[in-house]
Structure 1
Amino acid sequence: MGLKSKMLVMVMVIGALGSAPLMAEAQLGNIIGSLLGVINVQGVVYCTADGNIGTINATSTPVFPNAVVQLQCGNGNIVSTTTTNNMGSFSMLLNPLQFLLSTLLTDCNVVVRTPLINCNATLPSTGFLTSRMQFVGRFVQDGIMEIMKVAPNLFTFISPSA
Structure 2
Amino acid sequence: MGLKSNLLVLVMVFGALGSAPLMAEAQFNIIGSLLKLINIQGTVFCTADGNIGTNATSTPVFPNALVQLQCGNGNIVSTTTTNNGGIFSMFLNPVQFVLSSLLSNCNLVVKTPISDCNATLPSTGFLTSSLQFLGSFVQDGLMQIMKVAPNPFTFIPSP
For Structure 1 versus Structure 2, the TM-score category normalised by the shorter chain is 0.7 to 0.9
The residue type equivalent to 2:125 in the other structure is: G
Equivalence map 1:29-44=2 (5 Å):
34-44=33-43
2:7 maps to which residue? none
Return the alpha-carbon distance in structure 2 between the equivalents of residues 127 and 111 of structure 1.
11
**Whole-angstrom distance in 2 between the partners of 1:88 and 1:100:** 27
Structure 2: stretches of 5+ with no match in the other structure: 1-21
Decide which of 149, 152, 155 is 1:151's aligned counterpart.
149
Measure, in 2, the Cα distance between the counterparts of 1:32 and 1:49. 44
Alpha carbon RMSD of aligned pairs, Å?
1.8
Shift in Å, 1:90: 0.3
Segments of 5+ residues of structure 1 without an aligned counterpart are 1-10, 18-27
Q: CA deviation at 1:15?
A: 2.9
Question: Could you say what secondary structure the match of 1:70 adopts?
Answer: strand
Query: 1 CA distance for matches of 2:80 and 2:95?
Result: 20
TM-score by length of 1: 0.80
Aligned to 1:69: 67
Match of 1:97 among 79, 95, 98: 95
Matched, 1:140 2:138: yes
Q: What is the distance in 1 between the residues matched to 2:71 and 2:33?
A: 20
Provide the TM-score with structure 2 as the length reference.
0.82
Letter in 1 for 2:26: G
| Structure of larger gyration radius | 2
Q: Whose helix fraction is larger, Structure 1's or Structure 2's?
A: 2
Aligned-partner SS, 1:59? helix
